[in-house]
């Protein structure tokens, strides 16, 4: 997938558009290669999608849209477009208390599916997905990306999903870290929930995401950042158990 960095003006306009959507207003998309669509998730909760029209989540979110929505066809998989900016997409419920982030949908297989499943399970979650492969633009380490700008705009608790190769962390199913920040009760509770669901949660410093720019910004801001690395088998076959662990942890936190 191609990638073109946003200009300063485009980033300013895109952030203003996101703020308008959060406020329930109609965004001004003048001079922006972005579109807005509306639908309902699988539980019937309405959501709004702000997208560059070419990111993989566009086809995935279609699965969550009710069949009678007239915008269904807007969410069809987009044909390859070399002119697409590769900025990604963000899906918003009416209220956001948790931002689910998928920075590497093209390389960390099934993390985008897991992100969508979490978005469907949590009615106050937003979902942010990168629009290009990490080899083209690694948004987890790119502070000039729109992905990073959108995360800072919402400035809430973040759960960032990653995947690791089994050989890089043997006998491990999940690695949970606060990134550059300090662990909170939320981290402890999620680690316990993942362990309760049968996952081997272990620490591997090379998977802790200490240099992640969203994590660094969250640490400076003082909001929780949960950097969750998952083994291939977990991402492929046991996403439902991860969703259950996250949702029960979130409920226990009173969110």
Identify whether 145 is part of a domain: yes
171's CB contacts (< 8 A; 6+ apart) are: 200, 202
Kindly state the percentage of the chain with pLDDT values over 70: 87
Task: Compute the average pLDDT of residues 81-91.
Answer: 84
The model's pTM is 0.91
pLDDT band at residue 31 using 50, 70 and 90 as cut-offs: very high
DSSP character string of 155-168: -SEEEEEEE--GGG
Q: How many domains does the chain have?
A: 1
Identify whether 76 is part of a domain: yes
Q: Which residues are paired to 228 by β-bridges? A: 161, 176
Task: Compute the average pLDDT of residues 54-58.
Answer: 58
Each residue's pLDDT tens digit, 34-53: 999 888 888 889 999 999 87
Identify whether 210 is part of a domain: yes
Give the residue, 52 or 84, on which the prediction is more confident: 52
Identify whether 3 is part of a domain: no
250 has a pLDDT exceeding 50: yes
19 has a pLDDT exceeding 70: yes
Task: Compute the average pLDDT of residues 113-119.
Answer: 93
Give the residue, 251 or 141, on which the prediction is more confident: 141
66 has a pLDDT exceeding 90: no
255 has a pLDDT exceeding 50: yes
* CATH code at position 199: 3.40.630.100
**pLDDT of res. 8:** 96
Distance between CA atoms of 46 and 148, rounded to whole angstroms?
25
**pLDDT of res. 238:** 98
Identify whether 38 is part of a domain: yes
Identify whether 2 is part of a domain: no
123 three-class SS: coil
Q: How crowded is residue 28: how many other Cβ atoms within 10 Å of its Cβ?
A: 11
Each residue's pLDDT tens digit, 178-204: 999 999 999 999 999 999 999 999 999
CB 33 within 8 A of CB 164: no
Identify whether 1 is part of a domain: no
Domain with 223 in it: 8-252
Helix or strand holding residue 226 (H, E): strand 225-230
């Amino acid at each position: 997938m191609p990638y073109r960095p946003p200009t300063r003006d485009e980033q300013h306009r895109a952030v203003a558009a996101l703020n308008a959507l959060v406020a329930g207003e109609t965004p001004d998309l003048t001079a922006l290669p972005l579109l807005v669509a509306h639908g309902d998730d699988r539980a019937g909760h309405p959501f709004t999608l702000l997208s560059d029209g070419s990111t993989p989540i566009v086809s995935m979110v279609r699965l969550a849209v009710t069949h009678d929505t007239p915008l269904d066809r807007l969410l069809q998989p987009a044909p390859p477009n070399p002119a697409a900016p590769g900025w990604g997409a963000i899906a918003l419920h009416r209220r956001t208390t948790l931002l689910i982030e998928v920075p590497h949908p093209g390389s960390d297989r099934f993390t985008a599916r897991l992100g969508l499943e979490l978005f469907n399970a949590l009615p106050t979650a937003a979902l942010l997905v990168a629009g290009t492969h990490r080899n083209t633009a690694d948004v987890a380490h790119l502070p000039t990306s729109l992905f990073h700008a959108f995360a800072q705009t919402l400035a809430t608790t973040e759960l960032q999903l990653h995947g690791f190769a089994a050989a890089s962390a043997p006998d491990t199913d999940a690695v949970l870290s606060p990134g550059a920040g300090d662990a909170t009760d939320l981290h402890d509770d999620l680690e316990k929930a993942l362990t309760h669901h049968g996952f081997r949660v272990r620490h591997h410093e090379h998977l802790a995401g200490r240099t992640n720019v969203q994590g660094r910004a969250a640490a400076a801001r003082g909001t929780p950042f949960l950097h969750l690395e998952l083994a291939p088998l977990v991402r492929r076959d046991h996403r439902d158990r991860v969703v259950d662990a996250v949702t029960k942890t979130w409920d226990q936190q009173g969110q």
